[in-house]
Structure 1
Amino acid sequence: MRDTSHAVEPGSAAGPARTKGQGGGRRLEAAELLPRQVRAHRSPAEIHSSIVGGALGIKGHDGAMASGAVCPAFAYTIVYVTDVEKAAAFYAAAFGSDVRRLDQSHKWAELESGATTIAFTPLHQRETDGLSGEVQLPDAAAARGPVEVCFVYADVDAAYRRAVEHGAVPVSAPEQKPWGQKSGFVRDMDGNVVRIGSHVRE
């Protein structure tokens, strides 16, 4: 039979956990739930944050995280465009990515772009104008938005030429960067900046 006299029950955000035993056992302080070598380098506030935030991975009887911790995955980069179908076709031709999905409403398209999906959706819709704010495109040739899309290639020069030949607006020809990447910049049909680069060498 398994000895449960010292099994730990997860606590709530409002208080520490308990040890199982006769009479309910004693209450464990939050710090006792961390390994000794970790406790030595954390302040009481950091320890409390770890417990409440679920960083320890302590699970309840149903297998769920006791504190509702989240483990995010970067799933989408969404580009707001004037014409979803044309934008998807442009990206496929200019940057060499296949179109994975074009919704029948023509309000959503996706590229085959690896672990993170690049998607396109209209500039003006309820999700922007009515909920999160109107999308503002650059109002001058020298202006740009705060986010860029970057594609990496084995041959950056060839990829840059292909993009320009298929309608991308040249901004800066590829050059070697001090951080170990070769990259150049173009604009798509809506003026968004796209980086064409190599993998960064360590």
Structure 2
Amino acid sequence: MTMTMSNEQGKPEANVRGGRRSGHRVHARHLPGLPTLAAAPARTNGSSWAPGKTEHCTAQHKRRLQAVRDKPQQASVMASEGAVSPAFAYTVVYVKDVAKSAAFYSAAFGYTVRRLDQSHKWAELESGTTTIAFTPLHQRETDALTGAVQLPDSAGERGPVEICFDYADVDAAYRRAVDSGAVPVSPPEQKSWGQKVGYVRDIDGIIVRMGSHVRA
């Protein structure tokens, strides 16, 4: 379509073809006699279009898609880490007589014997999340597989590990242990770090520390 525009003197000013005037874009609302275009209506969801909004939504959508793709890998890593997280399950005490030691710990320190194998090669105490267990000094697992257990040569020596129990009343617990056959080493006394501690030896000569609850 070709339209001719005139100036005030009635002379032709320019030809407009396809909405262009002298090489410049001419909007329909600038042309005499044509209706003015209304503004773009708002979106039905209450939002209106703005420059850059489409690009922003696209980038956000891409990030969400990437997060969904990454979830299986993240879950796999977390599962792998969980598979190697430790749980302190047992403290195994090597003794001369499993049944005798289990009965002694029950009487001297107040634990219940949870399990005693008929072979008398394994016993467990009811000691919370970490089980105290007893097994013989000499057996294949120690003598042939992992090495023989070494005992102190004299009463003046001790092994590199001690067993520690906490009590609300350390003095009463200490007296019960000694009355049940534990060998007294050091009666309970107040320590500089705020704990009351006493020491005894069990029937195999293992040091047992008996202390009060440590307050955080």
User: Which of 204, 207, 211 in structure 2 is aligned with 1:190?
Assistant: 204
**Residue number among 79, 89, 95 corresponding to 2:103 in the alignment:** 89
Partner of 1:24: none
- 1:101 counterpart SS class: strand
Change (3 A) 1:68 1:98: closer
Please identify, of 1-10 and 119-128, the stretch whose mean Cα deviation from structure 2 is larger. Answer: 1-10
CA distance in 1, matches of 2:148, 2:71: 45
Which position in structure 1 is the counterpart of 2:75? 59
**Helix, strand or coil at the partner of 2:99:** helix
Whole-Å separation in 2 of the counterparts to 1:60 and 1:120 = 38
Task: Tell me by how many angstroms 1:60 deviates.
Answer: 2.8
Percent identity reads: 70
- 1:52-89 Cα offsets, whole Å, 9 max, x none, are xxxxxx3239x842x78511011111100000000000
Q: Alignment partner for residue 133 of structure 1, among 147, 153, 157?
A: 147
Larger radius of gyration: 2
Q: Match for residue 164 of structure 1?
A: 178
Shift of 1:154: 0.7
Measure the CA separation in 1 of the matches of 2:148 and 2:178.
Answer: 29
Q: TM-score normalized by structure 2?
A: 0.66
Give the TM-score taking structure 1 as reference length: 0.70
Choose the corresponding residue for 1:155, options 160, 163, 169: 169
Tell me how far 1:8 sits from its aligned partner: 4.9
Match of 1:146 among 148, 155, 160: 160
- Structure with the larger strand share: 2
1:77 match: secondary structure: strand
Match of 1:100 in 2: 114
* Structure 2 partner of 1:4: 65
CA gap 1:179/1:9 in 2 versus in 1, 3 angstroms:
same
Shift of 1:10: 8.1
CA distance in structure 1 between the partners assigned to 2:153 and 2:135 by the alignment: 20
Distance 1:165 1:6, change over 3 A: closer
Distance in 2 of aligned mates of 1:5 and 1:75:
40
Structure 2 gaps of 5+ residues are 1-60
Distance change >3 Å, CA 10–CA 135, structure 1 → 2: farther
- The separation in 2 between residues aligned to 1:89 and 1:153, in whole angstroms, is 20
Cα distance in 2, alignment partners of residues 145 and 108 from structure 1: 21
Q: Structure 2 counterpart of 1:178, which letter? A: S
Q: 1:68 to 1:180 in 2, by over 3 A?
A: closer
Query: What amino acid sits opposite 2:164 in the alignment?
Result: C
Specify every segment of 5 or more residues in structure 1 that has no aligned partner in the other structure, as ranges.
12-16, 18-57
Encode CA deviations 1:104-163: one digit per residue, 9 max, x unaligned.
Answer: 110000011111110000000111111111101111111111111111111100100000
What letter matches 1:74 in structure 2? Answer: F
Closer, same or farther in 2 for the Cα pair 1:69/1:100, shift >3 Å?
A: closer
Richer in helix (by share): 2
CA RMSD of aligned residues (A): 2.5
